[in-house]
């Protein structure tokens, strides 16, 4: 395995002359939990115990309308434009803009003609920009009931027995979240200082390769979410040239950080075992819900070698953080 890692690393030569990586000074994080934060989390917890009850009056924003609907474009029903017994929370923006607003005020057994226009950037191009009329039957209206926090409610939504115990649990959860954030910020700050103090030469072809990997990963995420690259650019107010520029900067930053950590691992004589690699792959396979051997086969030799690199990088990162001085 070690030979494999050396071969994999030798394929790409990033020249690194390390700066000081021991005793890096960073600002000590102060973890503060405010009363407002605790109250907000307790209020959010109440939402997990919400129940609904039938409502005789008019539907309001926040209510749930149970509807049957059929959509028409130019007088013709269109595929995918119908539903039965659909529970629609008004104000959730689940449907096309304007749809839910037109059901505010409706009561059980009302028939409502909802007229909307599909957005110009709608994901189904054949509907984009077109006006549609939905024939809607309101079969019921339900309002939400949010209970006060009590021992009984707490026992339903958590493993705590009392409100007081749950409040302590919430405080600890907030503290742990902030501590994790502070730990990550410390890691980033320590590594950034070492990168800045080191001399690193990254060949342009490596930057280009990593940039394409980042873009490929983003495109896959967008496809899975039913979005396009053009929509992503528009949402983030970016031109394609700007995206390429930012992606190149991210790629360079990642490559520098990884190269520095590998150089520190080498300088400190860190190592790993085949068992370390096996355990890491097994944990990855469990998260992907597949057999470890299947994942290893899919990864190939280079992928397995990268797992070994990550193990060394983690050791190096833990080392420089432990050696850092908090001021």
The hierarchical CATH code for the domain 51-145 is: 3.10.50.40
pLDDT at res. 143: 95
Q: How far apart are CA 194 and CA 85, in angstroms?
A: 60
Q: What is the CATH number of domain 2-19+198-326?
A: 1.10.3120.10
Q: Where are the domains of the chain?
A: 2-19+198-326, 51-145
In tens, the pLDDT along 234-250 reads: 999 999 999 999 999 99
Mean pLDDT of 208-224: 93
For range 164-191, the mean pLDDT: 97
State yes or no: pLDDT of 5 exceeds 50. Answer: no
Q: Is 26 left (phi over 0), alpha (psi -120 to 50) or beta?
A: beta
CA–CA distance, 69 with 138 (Å, rounded to integer): 9
16-75 pLDDT per residue, tens: 999 999 999 999 999 999 999 999 999 999 999 988 899 999 999 999 999 999 999 999
- What tokens were used for 89? 């929370």
pLDDT over threshold 90, residue 148 = yes
pLDDT in tens, 267-288: 999 999 999 999 999 999 999 9
**Two tokens, residue 43:** 């209020």
């Amino acid at each position: 395995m070690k030979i494999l890692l050396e071969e994999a690393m030798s394929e790409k030569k990033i020249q690194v002359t390390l700066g000081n990586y021991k005793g890096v000074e960073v600002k000590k994080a102060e973890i503060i939990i405010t009363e407002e934060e605790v109250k907000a989390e307790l209020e959010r917890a109440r939402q997990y115990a919400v129940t609904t009850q039938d409502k005789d009056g008019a539907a309001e924003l926040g209510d749930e309308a149970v509807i049957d609907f059929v959509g028409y474009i130019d007088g013709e029903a269109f595929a995918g434009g119908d539903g039965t017994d659909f529970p629609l929370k008004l104000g959730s923006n689940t449907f096309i803009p304007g749809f839910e607003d037109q059901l505010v005020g409706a009561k059980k057994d009302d028939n409502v003609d909802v007229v909307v226009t599909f957005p110009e950037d709608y994901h189904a191009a054949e509907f984009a920009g077109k006006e549609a009329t939905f024939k809607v039957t309101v079969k019921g209206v339900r309002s939400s009931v949010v209970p006060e926090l009590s021992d009984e409610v707490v026992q339903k939504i958590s493993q705590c027995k009392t409100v007081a115990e749950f409040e302590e649990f919430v405080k600890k959860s907030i503290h742990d979240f902030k501590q994790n954030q502070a730990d990550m910020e410390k890691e980033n700050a320590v590594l950034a200082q070492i990168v800045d103090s080191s001399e690193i030469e990254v060949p342009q072809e490596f930057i280009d390769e990593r940039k394409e990997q980042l873009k490929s990963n983003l495109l896959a995420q967008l496809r899975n979410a039913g979005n396009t690259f053009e929509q992503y650019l528009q949402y983030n107010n970016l031109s394609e040239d700007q995206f390429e520029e930012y992606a190149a900067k991210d790629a360079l930053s990642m490559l520098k950080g990884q190269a520095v950590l590998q150089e520190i691992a080498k300088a400190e004589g860190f190592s790993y075992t085949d068992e370390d690699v096996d355990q890491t792959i097994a944990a990855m396979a469990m998260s992907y819900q597949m057999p470890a051997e299947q994942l290893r086969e899919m990864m190939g030799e280079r992928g397995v070698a990268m797992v070994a690199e990550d193990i060394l990088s983690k050791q190096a990162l833990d080392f420089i953080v432990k050696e850092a001085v908090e001021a």
